[in-house]
Structure 1
Amino acid sequence: MTQTVQQHPSGGYIFEELYVGMTAEKAVEVTEARIQQFAEASDDFNPVHMDEAFASKTAYRGRIAHGLLSASFGSAVVGMILPGAGAIFLSQRTSFHKPVKIGDVVVARISVASMDAETARVVLRCEGLVGEDLVMDGEATVRVPRRRRPAKS
């Protein structure tokens, strides 16, 4: 069963609330400002991302977004929606299939693929789409809390 979910009212789903097929999405526009901020945060100023004159002479015929910028939109889904607050990345594998350009809207789609009740680890299927085009995919393994922290009084 596949069901698209929204952020849990508490900010995150606990392990016992998850099931295989749960899916969440977030659409993010790739902007000049995001590329600049990512370059500054990562210290990756590769001219294929930053310099139109250079990038226009490459196979991409213009600037493209950092692959990990686009992949980070999936991290936003994992950390904020599914599973959400309290989820900890243990590993991630990502394959990039097509470049993402300034102005593209990337839809990050995360789905629960499998669960291990003994370790509270969840394998997530991760996809990034621009329109109907799959631009990246892979999987991530995360640890998910088993119970909520009691509210502070």
Structure 2
Amino acid sequence: MVELVQQHPSGGYILEELRPGMAAEKIIQATEERIRRFAEASDDFNPVHLDEAFAAKTAYRGRIAHGLLSASFGSAVVGTILPGAGSIYVSQTLKFHLPVRVDDTVVIRITVVEVEQEQARVRLNCEGFVDGKLIMDGIAVVRVPRRRKPSAR
């Protein structure tokens, strides 16, 4: 059973609070500005992402967002909602099924699959959807804090 959760009041869940079936979602738009800024940050100026005339002649018949931009939306959920603050990526598998186009709205869903107590890690199912269609999926392994940092008060 899937239990949709919100961001923890502390900013992040600790290992002992996580269990299989917990899930979080975030809706993010693949805007023109995000695509341009991602190209600058990654130094990936492939014209299929930035040049409509070039992209129109490809198999995609128009511009598409960088695959790793879409994948980074999953990082937003992992780092801010589930598990949240303090979690660190160890690994990520990805499979892209459909392209994300300029101004598509992407729904990212992250679901806890397994909690590894000894290693303080969780396995997460990562999925992205546009208009209800699966555009990418994969498994992330994320290190999670065992306790919260004490308050500065």
Q: TM-score, normalised to structure 2's length?
A: 0.99
For 1:83, give the aligned amino acid.
P
For 1:59, give the aligned amino acid.
A
Give the superposition deviation at 1:136.
0.1
Quick check: 1:117 aligned with 2:117? yes
2:69 is aligned to: 69
For 1:130, give the aligned amino acid.
V
**SS of residue paired to 1:138:** strand
Q: How does 1:37-76 map to 2 (within 5 A)?
A: 37-76=37-76
Separation in structure 1 between the aligned mates of residue 152 and residue 61 of structure 2, nearest angstrom? 55
Residue-pair matches, total: 153
1:99 is aligned to: 99
Give the superposition deviation at 1:14.
0.2
List per-residue Cα deviations over 1:76-134 (Å, max 9, x = no partner).
00000000000000000000000000111001100000111111110000000001100
Unaligned runs of 5+ in 2: none
Separation in structure 1 between the aligned mates of residue 115 and residue 101 of structure 2, nearest angstrom? 35
**SS of residue paired to 1:84:** coil
**SS of residue paired to 1:140:** strand
Aligned sequence identity (%): 68
Stretches of 4+ aligned residues off by more than 3 angstroms: none
For 1:101, give the aligned amino acid.
R
Give the superposition deviation at 1:32.
0.5
1:90 is aligned to: 90
**SS of residue paired to 1:23:** strand
